[in-house]
Amino acid sequence: MLYLADNMRYLRGRKGRSQQQLADELGITRTRYSKYEYGMAEPPIDLLIKIARYYGLSIDDIISVDLYAYRDAY
């Protein structure tokens, strides 16, 4: 997933959340969330849907668009 890890870090930062806070909101451990943010693992589709809904974005945007580069549009 091309931009997933970078986008997860960027979006979390924009929300002003810690990894622990976001993991709690998604119902997963911080360790598991951290692996997604650092590209060491990829979330299953059901969690990817939750993440997309949390940020009000499409899954396609989260995985295939460099959101930081287009930060004014998102």
Domains and their CATH numbers in the chain: 4-64 (1.10.260.40)
Q: What is the pLDDT of residue 29?
A: 98
Predicted TM-score (pTM) of this structure: 0.88
- How far is residue 21's CA from residue 30's CA, in Å, rounded to a whole number? 8
Ramachandran class of 67: left when φ > 0, alpha when ψ lies in -120 to 50, beta otherwise: alpha
What local confidence, expressed as pLDDT, does residue 4 receive? Answer: 97
What pLDDT shows up at residue 70? 82
Name the one residue in this structure whose structure tokens are 């949390």.
Answer: 54
**7 in Cβ contact with 69 (< 8 Å):** no
Residue spans of the chain under pLDDT 70: 73-74
